[in-house]
Copies of this chain bind each other. A is one copy, B any other.
Amino acid sequence: MMTDYIRALSIDGVIFGFHENELKVLLLRWKGTDEWSLPGGFIRMQESVDVAAQRVVQERTGLTQLYLRQFHVFGDVNRYDQVDVWRRAGLSFDERDMWPRAISIGYYALVEYSKVEPTPDHLTEACAWWSLDTLPNLLFDHNQIIEVALQSLRKELNEQPIGHLLPEAFSIPELQRLHETILGHALDARNFYKKTIASGDLERLPERRRGTPHKAPFLYRFRPLEPV
């Protein structure tokens, strides 16, 4: 029931994935249109905001155990041209009244691309990965939201190595390519080695990656958090 949800306030989820050296976001195509938007949802009356964000991302990806960060609230009165968006999204005049005002809490999620099963919701008929470099003109102000999410992610990346977009076991050069993609510029391999190893967050696994036509790299994983 719609009345079980807090209205006016919603969650928008920027779900980041990493595939073929490209940063991706998961988008939804609205029924009967060629228009795409971020996944989102409302907050249940008896549901914490963080839990609602988990639910939104979980329903689109099938994943539990999410790496989620609240990064910004978007609350401008004129966040986008509502008339234009209603038309593009294929919504009738009645449905329009559902959004007298839209305030969104932005969360970004870092997920492992290959484990995601993209799933549309009841308003949409497709769920797919899009490369950040070739995004279409999205509904609402979702292009801007993605931009702010990316800036927040870059800021976080400068503070600590982040590997949640990779499989559990990965090589240092793979982690480096991830960081380069997020930051948008090349990094020096030797310095990247020293820095990530020195961070103490990684531990080397006994096996190396086999099957590449070149020197077999060591595999690492993020050290499990110390129990407190």
Closest to A9 in B: B9
Contact of A9 among B72, B76, B103 (CB under 8 A): B103
Contact of A49 among B45, B47, B103 (CB under 8 A): B103
Residue A66 CB within 8 A of the other chain:
no
Bound together, the chains give a CA A160 to CA B134 distance in angstroms of: 34
Is A48 touching B73 in the complex (CB atoms < 8 A)? no
Bound together, the chains give a CA A178 to CA B103 distance in angstroms of: 35
| Least CB distance, A216 to chain B, in whole angstroms | 41
Bound together, the chains give a CA A179 to CA B7 distance in angstroms of: 41
Bound together, the chains give a CA A77 to CA B46 distance in angstroms of: 6
Is A73 touching B76 in the complex (CB atoms < 8 A)? no
Residue A123 CB within 8 A of the other chain:
no
Residue A136 CB within 8 A of the other chain:
no
Main secondary structure of the interface of A (DSSP, over half): mixed
Contact of A8 among B6, B51, B77, B105 (CB under 8 A): B6
| Copies of this protein, total | 2
Is A77 touching B101 in the complex (CB atoms < 8 A)? no
Residues of B within 8 A of A9 (CB): 6, 8-9, 103
Residue A50 CB within 8 A of the other chain:
yes
| Least CB distance, A160 to chain B, in whole angstroms | 14
Is B6 touching A73 in the complex (CB atoms < 8 A)? no
Residues of B within 8 A of A75 (CB): 43, 48-50, 52, 105
Is B77 touching A48 in the complex (CB atoms < 8 A)? yes
Bound together, the chains give a CA A6 to CA B10 distance in angstroms of: 13
| Least CB distance, A34 to chain B, in whole angstroms | 31
Bound together, the chains give a CA A77 to CA B50 distance in angstroms of: 10
Can you identify 23 A-B contacts, CB atoms within 8 angstroms?
Answer: A6-B9, A6-B101, A6-B103, A8-B8, A9-B9, A9-B103, A43-B75, A43-B103, A45-B100, A45-B101, A46-B77, A47-B77, A48-B75, A48-B76, A48-B77, A49-B75, A50-B75, A51-B77, A52-B75, A70-B72, A70-B73, A73-B105, A75-B105
- What 10 new A-B contacts, CB under 8 Å, besides A6-B8, A48-B76? A6-B101, A8-B9, A9-B9, A45-B100, A49-B76, A50-B75, A51-B77, A52-B75, A73-B73, A75-B105
